[in-house]
Structure 1
């Protein structure tokens, strides 16, 4: 049986500001933005090429804004990803190269509430203990 990770809930303080950040600056697709009543609103956004989405919301999300740490995205070209983020106005750190092996390079940034993200470069995926 497959167990797929489909959604990560992100606690934020301002839904519209966060929607702009994730959609316009990070390039996530807005799958839906639904208001049920004055106390309940849910947004789902998906990174390009991802099978996992994020959910932002009012009335459904537990946790303090900015308390989510270490959510990780993966890209094949970290330099290109960093340049794209900088071009879109995201404050992103320098590339950190932890080792020369594939998968050892990262960049880091925070959303407007301080939720922290990592972006890892992986050029090939491991299958059965071997990189392809």
Structure 2
């Protein structure tokens, strides 16, 4: 849910939000057009969605465009962290 005064959590405390899209490159381009600072698309060479330590992370979308295999990250205006997957 989005909105002001919805929860009492401190800014930048929310982690693990996912924005699941059909085309990560198109979604990333759309966010960039809207002035959202978003990281480059990347994928895990080991086949896992992502690891928090960044191990095996490779720049660019997953070459075969497998479902849930590519991601990029951004922070919202409250500095909460999001994954675009």
The alignment's TM-score, normalised by the length of structure 1, stands at: 0.46
Q: Which has a greater percent of helix?
A: 1
1:112 paired residue number: 77
Q: Which has a greater percent of strand?
A: 1
Ranges in structure 2 where 5+ consecutive residues have no aligned partner: 48-61
1:65: Cα distance to partner?
A: 1.2
1:68 aligns with 2:33: no
Q: Which has the higher contact order (CA 8 A, sep 6+)?
A: 2
Number of positions where the alignment pairs a residue of Structure 1 with one of Structure 2: 66
- Determine helix, strand or coil for the equivalent of 2:4: strand
Cα distance in 1 for partners of 2:41, 2:17 equals 17
Computed over aligned residues only, the root mean square deviation of the Cα atoms, in angstroms, reads 1.4
1:85 paired residue number: 31
Matches within 5 A, 1:1-132: 54-58=1-5, 60-98=6-44, 99=47, 100=62, 101-120=66-85
The structure number with the bigger radius of gyration is 1
The structure 1 segments of at least 4 consecutive aligned residues displaced by more than 4 Å after TM superposition are none
